[in-house]
Structure 1
Amino acid sequence: MSVIKEVPFPSPETPELPMNIWIDDADSAVDVIDALALSPFATGVQPWSRLVSLERVRTEAALSPAQGRVVRTAQVQDGPESRLICGDGWTLRVVRHRNRTATVSVTAVSDELARSVLKESIDGAEEPEPDTDHVEMGFWWRSSHGATRSEKPITAQPWAEIEGNYSAEARQSLDRLMGVTPADVNGRLILLHGPPGTGKTTLLRSLAKQWQDWCQVDCVLDPERLFNDPGYLMEVAVGYDTEEDQQRWRLLVLEDCDELISAAAKAQTGQGLSRLLNLTDGLLGQGRDVLVAITTNEDLTRLHPAVVRPGRCLAQIEVGPLAREEAVRWLGASTGVGPSGATLAELYAIRSGRAPAATGDESTGLYL
């Protein structure tokens, strides 16, 4: 069964655009709410739109102005709840998820009204920011609707609390990296290389915390698509602007990108390497104050010469295992520590009473 809602064509008296909605048995009640919410904007009756994504939404938060009237509600079992709320000159769509996130969008007859309705709806809806062990990090991915960014709090310890997890050889370079300010930036690429399980991801979380006053850190979840899709790359490079008075630097994190920067990268990824280099010191990166951090398990000798050439990198640091003496000091005992030392992942496994993870498959990175 199909139902078509027809809106008359525009005339001098009614300048709105036409709107047709097709609904069949493949559509859900949530789809109907989505269509109804878009209708006033699509026809031009309410030509102003505002949208915000919320984290840690309070259970008791109404997410609606006091004068709003709920006209539709759809609840998916063990899933999100969607509501359509209307008022004088505005329409509000609220989608609440079980993980306490929510999306609130409003259309209105004026931008001022859209802003005020949205502000009243979300005012006080979120719980306070997590404690100081967290930092906000953005996450980019390419969905069917284009480039998508979500911001979430992640656990991040200050550098002073975790520096003992790294070898003395790497610590001096890491100290300098953690202390970088915008005035110190003389290269756009940060390259962290070394075996899996040595703490490269932990370093990036700590770096996000150390730089949080001047740099927004975003992790790209699908870097292989990023450099194969110029449109996606442009959206990520342009970034996500806030209403802050001063534009912040941005650090894009690309984890385990061995194919992108290897010696055979040109043959394996086509234009991917060229676009990466353009982002780090070409026109694209220079115009947006963008830094790029890459982690890899590859040795430097196996990377493309263009990536490691002098002047390209702000930091190029080998993150290796702790030497035996350092590993024994970290663990407080010598049991389980081999003659050549141990990685951070192996030390955590030993301390928890588990056998160290096998290192035959180095594709996982062990996420430390």
Structure 2
Amino acid sequence: MPELVGPGPSSQLPRPIRRHSPQEVPSPPELANADVPMRIWLDDGDSAIDLIDALALSPFAMGTEPWSRTSSLERVLPDAPLMPKTGSLIRVAVENGREARLMRGEGWTLRVIRYRSRSATISVTAVTEELAQSVIDEVAKDAEEPMPPSDHVNMGFWWHNSHSGHRSVRPITSPSWADIERNYSRTVNSQASRLMRITPGEVTGRLVLLHGPPGTGKTTLLRTLAREWQEWCQVDCVLDPERLFNDPGYLMEVAVGYDSGSGDDDKRRWRLLVLEDCDELIRAGAKEATGQGLSRLLNLTDGLLGQGRDVLVAITTNEDLARLHPAVVRPGRCLAQVEVGSLSPDEAARWLGTSEGVGNSGATLAELFALREGRELPQRETAETTGLYL
């Protein structure tokens, strides 16, 4: 067990660890007996979970359990114990939507962190590699929900917590393009159909731009795109795009990404980063309003940052095309540039089955759903201000 001490003079620092030449690196059995001192300094910024993290690592640092394995789980069942049948519960800490547990058994130490998002991280140190893996396997067995039905697709969600970027995977409902193409005007339908059929060999530009008023179905198009591209492209939604382009470290973490594929170069998947409602980032005055944000976005799509990475960026905005920064819409930068607008009066009447309630300017998709459900529509100005998102 490590020695716990408070802040003190430099004389209390642990003695330096002897560094070995390549010929002197100890084998695992020797490592188990290596004299690796460990001390922990605690202050007001440390939490109980931080202490559990340190205690979980101490057998590995001291060399008594020189093998370590870590696994991440998604969609953890609420009643999943995430505990092996044997062993003792040593510590439990709960804070800010996280629960950390520390367990010990014969030859192993287990740390489990469960998150409010229903994901979990399992870390095990053990006296042998086989024992570490067996504990991981036992804890993770039957802990996750079965795969979602075929009308769902897995999507990653990125956000930045107090320390670094975090990615969680969630199944989302995703209709096929054949099921929703009637929800869009003839012009949008033609452009979107080409986008849905694109293959990796046909990728030219790296930016997918969907612009138009609220309630016209831009988000629905992206959900469907995730389904139509699922064989070759992993889709991640960035929940805090304003921070993404203002924090170079976070941007690098997301740009390098998390590949859910096999790691085989022949099967390497593209990645699509979804940024919703990024009006301030790409409008004409973005350079003055967001500083380096626009420059970093452009660098990700066709600059040095994007080189060697199969990354696409999809942006939705309510801005009119004429109000967007010319560098964003220049020829060659966009893989697709789709203006998603209202259905014409004839198209809206055909979708609804009646012309009643359809104005002379047509209707948005959100308005058509409201009419079909018998709800009274707000004034168009209110709809454009508050949004009716789909």
**Length-normalised TM-score, structure 2:** 0.84
CA contact (8 A) 2:34 2:62 kept: no
Q: Percent identity?
A: 64
1:331-346 alignment to 2 at 5 Å? 331-346=352-367
Pick the structure with greater CA Rg.
2
Cα displacement (A) at 1:229: 1.1
Cα displacement (A) at 1:325: 1.0
Query: In structure 1, how many angstroms separate the alpha carbons of the residues matched to 2:50 and 2:299?
Result: 41
50-59 or 233-242, larger mean C-alpha shift: 50-59
Cα displacement (A) at 1:37: 2.2
Query: In structure 2, how many angstroms separate the alpha carbons of the residues matched to 1:265 and 1:84?
Result: 48
Query: In structure 2, how many angstroms separate the alpha carbons of the residues matched to 1:117 and 1:160?
Result: 45
Instruction: Give the corresponding residue for 2:40.
Output: 20
Root mean square deviation, CA, Å: 2.9
Counterpart selection for 1:162 from 180, 185, 207: 180
1:326-365 alignment to 2 at 5 Å? 326-358=347-379, 359-360=381-382, 362=384, 365=387
Determine whether 1:153 maps to 2:171.
yes
Q: Secondary structure at the match of 2:307?
A: helix
Q: Secondary structure at the match of 2:336?
A: strand
1:27-66 alignment to 2 at 5 Å? 32-41=51-60, 43=62, 45-46=64-65, 48-58=67-77, 61-66=80-85
Cα displacement (A) at 1:280: 0.6
Task: Give structure 2 stretches of 5+ with no counterpart.
Answer: 6-11, 19-32
Seen in structure 2, the aligned counterparts of structure 1 residues 23 and 44 have a Cα distance that, compared at 3 Å, is farther
Counterpart selection for 1:280 from 287, 301, 306: 301
Cα displacement (A) at 1:99: 6.3
Counterpart selection for 1:212 from 225, 230, 247: 230
Seen in structure 2, the aligned counterparts of structure 1 residues 302 and 48 have a Cα distance that, compared at 3 Å, is farther
1:250-269 alignment to 2 at 5 Å? 250-269=271-290
Counterpart selection for 2:333 from 286, 289, 312: 312
Instruction: Give the aligned length.
Output: 363
CA contact (8 A) 1:285 1:291 kept: no
Instruction: Give the corresponding residue for 2:88.
Output: 70
Query: In structure 2, how many angstroms separate the alpha carbons of the residues matched to 1:314 and 1:77?
Result: 44
Instruction: Give the corresponding residue for 1:181.
Output: 199
Which amino acid counterpart does residue 171 of structure 2 have in structure 1? Answer: P
103-112 or 216-225, larger mean C-alpha shift: 103-112
Determine whether 1:129 maps to 2:128.
no
Q: Secondary structure at the match of 1:295?
A: strand
Query: In structure 2, how many angstroms separate the alpha carbons of the residues matched to 1:77 and 1:275?
Result: 35
Cα displacement (A) at 1:40: 3.1
Counterpart selection for 2:104 from 83, 86, 92: 86
Counterpart selection for 1:301 from 315, 322, 325: 322
CA contact (8 A) 1:198 1:344 kept: yes
Q: Secondary structure at the match of 1:171?
A: helix
Task: Give structure 1 stretches of 5+ with no counterpart.
Answer: none
Query: In structure 2, how many angstroms separate the alpha carbons of the residues matched to 1:142 and 1:280?
Result: 21
Query: In structure 2, how many angstroms separate the alpha carbons of the residues matched to 1:222 and 1:98?
Result: 18
Seen in structure 2, the aligned counterparts of structure 1 residues 97 and 294 have a Cα distance that, compared at 3 Å, is closer
Cα displacement (A) at 1:104: 1.9
Counterpart selection for 2:245 from 209, 227, 237: 227
Seen in structure 2, the aligned counterparts of structure 1 residues 263 and 16 have a Cα distance that, compared at 3 Å, is same
CA contact (8 A) 1:8 1:18 kept: no
Query: In structure 1, how many angstroms separate the alpha carbons of the residues matched to 2:385 and 2:108?
Result: 51
Cα displacement (A) at 1:94: 2.0
Query: In structure 1, how many angstroms separate the alpha carbons of the residues matched to 2:37 and 2:180?
Result: 59
Q: Secondary structure at the match of 2:308?
A: helix
